[in-house]
Structure 1
Amino acid sequence: MSSPLDHIFIPVAILLLFSKKLKLNQREVIALSFFAVLPDIDSIFFSSNGISLHRVLFHNIFIVIIPLLFFMFAKSKREVFGIIIFYLTSHLILDLFTGGIFLFYPVYNKVFFAHVELLLSHGSFVPALEYGISNRIMNNGIGAPAVSSENVAFVILLAICAAISAIAFHRKTE
């Protein structure tokens, strides 16, 4: 499972890496970083029968909708809402790759998960890929991963930033 440090460090590092190309205020990137762990606030809630609601209440796409609406319709502070959207989305992606999330809760009460590893076994690398929809949060892999699900999620987030950067650069040169 991703730690709060992973949830903060990975997206902050990505945004700081691309801050000049995306013309992001580095102070805002740091100041807004608490949004990267905001979905984990659901870890303090429990159902009436004592079951934890962690990765349920705020680990879904609906947590991104309000900042997305502000991003789309607000004339000012679009950069701020873009950063918030990136932080919230990065949290969902990291947790999707580390046990899964209730992506469409409360509309659809199933866990979406993806698990990718490159295991080192008897001197050779063995790829392990598992993804799907489940009734429960999945257990994390077996063995000692040389490439973990968090690493794959990091690459996806990096690719998203690279694509956004390329689009911004392309628009600038037109």
Structure 2
Amino acid sequence: MKQNLFYIFIFISTLGFTQDDLNKLLKENNQQTIPYISVQELAMPKTQAILLDARETNEYVVSHLKNAICIGYDNFDIKKVTDTITDKNKEIVVYCSLGIRSEDIAEKLKKEGYTNVRNLYGGIFEWKNNNFKVYNDREKITDSIHAFSEEWSKWVKKGIKVYPKN
């Protein structure tokens, strides 16, 4: 019994450190200029946000949130967004793997006059780690998750990690 309690304590402690590490990573890499939305809040039925995926197409086809629009990062085109989302007060949630690239894109949306833009805290990795569904390019639920790189894959705790093809 004591041994089981010990393992439970270690498991819970590890989860806390992971969250602290994610907080630290986002503070080091983001300017904190865009408010976050948690994966739990985004998953609530009342949330009617437009989802913008700030990852590249090769990441999007492996796994993305349902109904997300792939807008990319390296070749992001603000005109694609302004042509698609004409109501600049509409709720928009931008996400990427962890929430770093998505902050950059969200800042561009804010500069363009969009007033209700948020960044998904922990990105699609946190979404998948919390057992929410992701979809492939055929819009079918998948357990695969594009891991971005070997280094960043440590943040993926659930699902089948898929790595970029060289």
Whichever of the two has the greater Rg, that structure is: 1
What's the TM-score, normalizing by structure 2? 0.28
What's the TM-score, normalizing by structure 1? 0.27
**Relative to total residues, which structure has the larger helix share, 1 or 2?**
1
